[in-house]
């Protein structure tokens, strides 16, 4: 694998957008679901495409990256094409996406440990373990998840955004 020598603009923009969306989820929980369905769809679509690209570009194919990418693309397309499915998608499909994405990132930890600094490795590990528990919680307690959905999503989006910004500044990854 070759080291990337240029700044990760895509990761930076993705991280900033994820953090803004996460903060908005905390500030306006009432309008979060209705006002940003399309934005969630675009973010899910972008994350899915990036996961699929990661799967294709890595020498050791990480199967969870492909599964997470496909679920993300499906979630994004569903939200963009049928925004009325938000409650159903967020109560069933979104937790599955959280879980698949977190498992994908946790399965990448051995490579991340080699490519990046120690604190980033631990940040990714802790953030994705939290995301995994949030996804499982939303599957087990769908009513409680619907009540606190914007806060749970906001936490995960902020953590994903911080991770993307860290990746933008690190020299991790291949030459995309």
How far apart CA 25 and CA 149 sit, in angstroms, is: 9
- Residue 57 region, left (φ>0) first, then alpha (ψ -120 to 50), else beta? alpha
pLDDT tens-place string over residues 56-111: 877 666 677 788 888 889 888 887 887 766 666 666 777 887 788 888 888 888 87
5-33 residue pLDDT tens = 567 788 888 889 889 988 888 888 766 66
Q: Convert the pLDDT of each residue in 47-60 to its tens digit.
A: 888 888 888 877 66
Q: How confident is the model at residue 1 (pLDDT cuts 50, 70, 90)?
A: very low
First-to-last alpha carbon distance for the chain, in angstroms, is 11
């Amino acid at each position: 694998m070759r080291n990337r020598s240029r700044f990760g603009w895509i990761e930076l923009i993705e991280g900033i957008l994820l953090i803004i969306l996460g903060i908005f989820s905390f500030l306006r929980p009432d309008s979060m679901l209705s006002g940003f369905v399309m934005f969630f769809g675009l973010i899910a679509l972008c994350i899915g495409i990036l996961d699929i690209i990661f799967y294709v570009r890595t020498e050791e194919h990480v199967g969870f990256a492909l599964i997470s990418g496909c679920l993300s693309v499906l979630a994004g397309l569903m939200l963009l094409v049928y925004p009325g499915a938000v409650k159903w998608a967020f109560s069933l499909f979104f937790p599955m996406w959280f879980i698949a994405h977190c498992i994908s990132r946790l399965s990448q930890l051995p490579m991340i440990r080699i490519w990046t600094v120690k604190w980033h490795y631990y940040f990714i590990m802790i953030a994705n373990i939290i995301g995994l528990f949030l996804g499982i919680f939303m599957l087990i307690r769908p009513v409680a998840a619907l009540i606190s959905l914007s806060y749970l999503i906001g936490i995960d989006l902020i953590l994903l955004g911080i991770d993307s910004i860290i990746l933008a500044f690190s020299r991790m990854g291949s030459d995309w």
